[in-house]
């Protein structure tokens, strides 16, 4: 999406196709969510401020540091790798007795080191972990079917703009193979997912990025505008989905939930 000073915007599904039109067209800020969109915007311009929401701003090389980004990109970094591990812990607590879990990973951004860390954490608890990757919407169904065929009894849907944007496919197929799943945004449990844990995507855009956007439109330089991190995390449990899975959620986990869908 681009924003100009009059407040007009244009949602762009394929930023790369429009990048040359955006540059030099009076655009004041480009808003990009997810590593692929941010990378495309970064390659298109070093001048127009880019307001990003992505997994690891420093690790992906989008900024020099959180305190002083140093280029034309700032925004929010969402601690994706750390939270994938926390979500795995919650999933294991929600499905007691499981001995094999799966992860659904975006093959374009998820590193082997990250996957190995999740596998080591599971192995330390005597639990096997299988990895199922997808890079396109058409590959999601086969990846989820592969997770079910592997013998996994639960699935961790890892942090990814691609997986979020294709969540309707993910929800439908995971429901079809009857696997309890945990998702990166709490709101995803409201949409039918079993568990959602992390920062609120609505709150990040509404309260954090809107404030950053105002500062950029008023002339702040992204190089000097610190990248922010979420400070609030929520757990939503969808008991309707649990019932459909014939799953009883432990009372200890229900007690920690910020919201329960009944």
Confidence tier at 59 by pLDDT (50, 70, 90): confident
Q: 2-78+201-224: what fold?
A: Rossmann fold (3.40.50)
Helices marked H in 78-136 — which ranges?
80-94, 112-123
- 41-47 mean pLDDT: 91
Q: Do domains 2-78+201-224 and 80-198+233-261 have the same CATH topology?
A: yes
Confidence tier at 25 by pLDDT (50, 70, 90): low
pLDDT tens-digit readout, 78-134 = 987 789 999 999 999 999 999 999 999 999 888 899 999 999 999 999 999 999 999
CATH of region 80-198+233-261, choose from 1.10.3720.10, 3.40.50.1980, 3.40.50.2300, 4.10.520.10 = 3.40.50.2300
At 82 the pLDDT is 85
Predicted model pTM: 0.86
Domain boundaries, the chain: 2-78+201-224, 80-198+233-261
């Amino acid at each position: 999406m681009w924003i100009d000073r009059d407040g007009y915007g244009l949602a762009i599904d394929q930023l790369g196709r429009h990048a040359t039109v955006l540059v030099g067209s009076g655009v004041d800020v480009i808003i990009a969510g997810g590593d692929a969109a941010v990378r495309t915007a970064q390659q298109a311009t070093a001048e127009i401020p880019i307001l990003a929401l992505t997994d690891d701003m420093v690790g992906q090389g989008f900024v020099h540091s959180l305190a002083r980004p140093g280029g034309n990109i700032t925004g929010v970094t969402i601690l994706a790798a750390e939270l994938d591990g926390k979500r795995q812990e919650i999933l294991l607590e929600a499905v007691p007795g499981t001995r094999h879990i799966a992860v659904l990973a975006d093959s374009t951004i998820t590193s082997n080191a990250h996957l190995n860390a999740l596998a080591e954490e599971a192995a330390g608890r005597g639990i096997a972990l299988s990895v199922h990757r997808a890079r396109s919407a058409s590959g999601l169904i086969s990846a989820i079917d592969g997770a079910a065929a592997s013998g996994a009894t639960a699935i961790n849907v890892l942090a990814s703009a691609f997986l979020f944007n294709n969540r309707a496919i993910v929800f439908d197929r995971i429901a079809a193979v009857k696997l309890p799943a945990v998702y990166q945004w709490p709101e995803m449990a409201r949409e039918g997912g079993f568990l959602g844990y992390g920062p609120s995507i609505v709150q990040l855009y509404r309260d954090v990025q809107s404030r950053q956007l105002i500062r950029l439109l008023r002339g702040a330089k992204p190089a000097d505008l610190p990248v922010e991190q979420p400070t609030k995390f929520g757990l939503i449990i969808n008991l309707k989905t649990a019932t459909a899975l014939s799953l009883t959620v432990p009372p200890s986990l229900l007690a920690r939930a910020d919201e329960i869908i009944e």
